[in-house]
Amino acid sequence: MASRSGIRNYRFSFNFFITPAVQWLLIANVAVYILETLLLTFSGSTTYTWFVGHFGLVPSAVVPGLRIWQPFTYMFLHDASTIWHILANMFVLYMFGRELELAWGRTRFLQYYFLTGAGAGILNVIVKVALFWGQPPADVATIGASGAIFGVLLACAIVFPDRQVVMFPIPIKMSMRTFVIAMTALEFLGTFGLGGDNISRICHLGGMLVGYLYLRRGSFLYSVRNSVTDWKMQRNKKRFQVYMNKHKDPPSRPDRWVN
C-alpha cells in the first residue's frame, strides 16, 4: 500500500541500538545459559556438572588432558544457579561493547573479544597448573565471559579515556580511565584469595593484560623497528668513517709518463 503524500513512514526497531557483533554475543550467551538451566532443572546436577566440566575451563583437563577447546567454550558458560552472573557480564558487554564495535567495526571487535577471552583462559590455566598442580583449584572449572569483558573495559579506557561513567552501586562519576584503574586494583587485591571459585579473578586480570599487549603491540613494534633502524644507521656511519679514513688522501699524480 502506497503512503499518502505528506505522511512519513517510521520504522520501529526493538534492538535497543545493539551493534551486530554484540547482539550475536548476547544471543549466544543467553542461549547457552538457557541450555544450562534446562540441564540443571530437568537432568539434575550430575549432567550439569558433566557439561560444565567438559566445556568449562578446567586447567588439569586442558593440560595434560588436551581439551584445547575449553579456552574458547568457557566464555559462553555462566552459573546456572543464579541469573546475576550472566546478567552482570551481558550488561557490561551491552554498555561498553557497542561503542567499541562502532569505533572498530564488527570483525576487529570480535577478534579482540575472542583473543582477550581465550588469552585470559590460557593464562588462567598456566597459573593454576603451575601453582596448584595436583590440588583442587587445578580441577575446578572456571566459567564466564568476564575475561573478555574486562578486555573490553580496558580497550574502552584506551580508546575513550575521558568518557564519563558512573560506578555502580556507588553513584560516583569518573573517567573511563580512572574506572578501569580502580577495577584493576580491586581485582589485583582479590587475587590474594586464589582458590577454587568458578569466577576467576586471574581471568579478569588476564583479559586486561592480553588486551593491553594487543593494543600496544603497534607501539612496541614501532619502537623495535626504530631501534633496529638507528642501529643500522650507526653501523653504516661507522663503516663510512672507516672507509673515509682509509682513503683520506687522493692517489698522487705520476710525475713521469711512460711511453
pLDDT digits (tens, 9 = 90+) for 228-243: 666 667 767 776 676 6
Residues of the chain with pLDDT under 70: 1-16, 168-169, 190-199, 218-232, 235, 239-240, 242-259
| Residue pLDDT, tens place only, 123-178 | 999 988 888 887 877 888 899 999 999 999 999 999 999 988 887 667 788 899 99
Q: Which residues of 197-236 are buried (b: 16+ CB within 10 A; e: fewer)?
A: ebebbbbbbbbbbbbbebbeeeeeeeeeeeeeeeeeeeee
Which residue, 141, 150, 149, 144, is CA-closest to 77?
A: 144
Strand partners, 142: 57
Q: Please state, rounded to an integer, the average pLDDT across all residues of the chain.
A: 81
pTM of the model: 0.76
Residues 72/118, Cβ–Cβ less than 8 Å:
yes
Strand partners, 57: 142
Q: Which residues of 94-125 are buried (b: 16+ CB within 10 A; e: fewer)?
A: bebbbbbbeebeeeebbebbbbbbbbbbbbbb
